[in-house]
Structure 1
Amino acid sequence: MNGIDVLLEAYSRIPDLVMGAADGLEPGDLEARPNGTGNSIGWLLWHLTRVQDDHIADTAGTEQLWTEEDWVGRFDLPFDPADTGFGHSSGQVDAVNVESADLLVEYYNAVHQRTIKYVQQLTEQDLDKVIDDSWNPPVTLGVRLVSVTQDCVQHAAQAAYVRGLLG
């Protein structure tokens, strides 16, 4: 198994986590926040998808699906279109009111499909390309792609935990 295959395997596991956290939830469930201050399932799934969309588009040199396919309009959130949720305040987390779990899953699935298509066209040599030299050590494409999978799994697991708290 080469590095591309490992990345494809890792990314292929995320959709089940997202769907498992979102399946059958009502908008009120999506907005529930543990202790009134934790991140909601809706925010967590929106954020992980926005980060994946943002980072994959950046590395692929494409426009994010968020704007290209007008997911920004479908979600109608009170944020700048470039917002991914990074550093959101409690009030901003509250502002992520999603009309349905299906909308979150549809957006995630679109981003996932683009991600898989992008990773499939990469070569092993591409993974060693430095894409961000502002870090020490500089970040390669491979490291960035692994980082995105880790972020998605972490937030999907948090969403599953919050779902468990709902009972």
Structure 2
Amino acid sequence: MKSADLLLDAFSRVKEAVYGAVEGLSEEELAVRVDEDANSIAWLVWHLTRIQDDHIADAFDTDQVWTSDGWKPRFGLPFPARATGFGHSTSQVAAVRAPAELLLGYYDAVHERTLEHLAGLTNADLDRVVDDSWDPPVTLGVRLVSVIAEDNQHAGQAAYVRGLVERGQKA
């Protein structure tokens, strides 16, 4: 198995987890917060998608799907175009409301762009430095694994919240 194939498989597993957390829920269910400081499913999925979009675009020196494909105005969120959710306040988390179709549509667009970039990767490509502001500098391979890890964590959190929503429970 090539490294690119391994990465394609990992990102495909993230997609399965995202769909499992979102599909079939109403906008109200996606916006449930188990307490006033908790993240909703909508925010978690929007955030993990924004991070993937931001980091993949940066690593491959391309535009973000969020802005280039018109997703920002479709969501109508009161955040700057570069916002990814990192450091969001509780009121900013609460502002992220969207139907499942919109969340999954944006996720699918970012996922497809990611797969396009990964398809032609070689093992040598993974050693390319994509961020020299860290010590040691971050390589493409490290950045991709980081995105997969963050995506999986947030998709898992969204799945947990979904379980609570489906049982009508609060934490």
Q: How does 1:8-157 map to 2 (within 5 A)?
A: 8-98=8-98, 100-157=99-156
Residue 37 of structure 1 aligns to a residue whose secondary structure is coil
Gaps of 5+ in 1: none
Whether the 8 Å CA contact 2:66–2:72 is kept in 1: the answer is: yes
Q: CA deviation at 1:88?
A: 0.3
Q: CA deviation at 1:43?
A: 0.1
Q: CA deviation at 1:130?
A: 1.3
Farther off after superposition, 61-70 or 28-37: 28-37
Q: TM-score, normalised by structure 2?
A: 0.94
Distance 2:58 2:95 in 1: 26
Q: What letter matches 2:143 in structure 1?
A: R
Distance 2:128 2:116 in 1: 19
Distance 2:97 2:121 in 1: 36
Residue 130 of structure 2 aligns to a residue whose secondary structure is strand
Q: CA deviation at 1:40?
A: 0.3
Matched, 1:160 2:162: no
Distance 2:130 2:27 in 1: 38
Distance 1:16 1:5 in 2: 17
Runs of 4+ with >2 A deviation:
none
Gaps of 5+ in 2: none
After superposition, the C-alpha distances for 1:18-55 in whole angstroms (9 at most, x for unaligned) are 11100111111111111222100000000000000111
Distance 2:37 2:164 in 1: 14
Q: TM-score, normalised by structure 1?
A: 0.97
After superposition, the C-alpha distances for 1:69-113 in whole angstroms (9 at most, x for unaligned) are 110010000000110001101010011111x11110111011001
Residue 131 of structure 1 aligns to a residue whose secondary structure is strand
Counting matched residue pairs gives 166
Q: What letter matches 2:146 in structure 1?
A: S
Q: What letter matches 2:150 in structure 1?
A: D
Q: CA RMSD of the aligned region, Å?
A: 0.9
Q: What letter matches 1:88 in structure 2?
A: H
Q: What letter matches 1:117 in structure 2?
A: E
